[in-house]
Amino acid sequence: MRLSEGVEWGLHCAVLVALLPPDRALPAGRLADYHGVPPAYLAKHLQALSRAQILDSVPGPRGGYRLARPATDVTVLDVVEAIDGTEPAFRCTEIRRQGPTRLATREYRVPCSIHVVMASAEDAWRAELRRTSIADLVGMVGASAPPASLAKGLDWFQEVLP
């Protein structure tokens, strides 16, 4: 079981644009520079975040991406699902209905108990991801990152924002 690497990129990008001065946007290329990831591929993931209305995209010079809503209203789960999709990790193929002892379809009114357990675990996973917003992550950075990190980040904004 493996999450797309794009999930990590998307979350870090969301945190970074949450720190932007009001009404400014960061182009995809700058976000790729900042994180040291392939620009063309990151662009694809940012487009997914834009379609999910997590980011706003601004075309043209001084354009780029910014948050579409307050950082408090964007959960980690929102970003994960925008990039990785909402398909469950466990997909019940109903193998209980295969093989020599299978019954008629109408007999299977009760759900597959294995399916139920796996689904409830994924619910717990999602619930946990919903508990944290991008604003929380920004706060965590402020509270626990080396201060030099923030300072350097601010310098960098001055440099790259035209």
Partner DNA sequence: ATATCACGGATATTAGATATCCGGATTATC
Partner DNA sequence: GATAATCCGGATATCTAATATCCGTGATAT
Cβ 136 to a second copy shortest distance, Å: 8
Residues 90-129 touching a second copy, rule: CB under 8 A, are 90-93, 95-96, 98-101, 103, 107-110, 113-114, 116-118, 120-129
Residue selected from 22, 36, 61, 100 as contacting DNA according to rule CB under 7 A = 61
| Among the listed residues 47, 96, 115, 132, the single contact to DNA using CB under 7 A | 47
Secondary element (H or E) of residue 152: helix 147-160
Q: What is the CA radius of gyration of the chain?
A: 21
Contact 64, 25 (CB under 8 A): yes
State the amino acid at position 59 in one-letter form. P
3-state secondary structure of 58: strand
Footprint of DNA on residues 7-26 (CB under 7 A)?
25
Residue entry with tokens 């991801």: 129
Which residue of 21, 35, 63, 108 would you call a contact of DNA, by CB under 7 A?
A: 63
Residue 53 interacting with a second copy (CB under 8 A): no
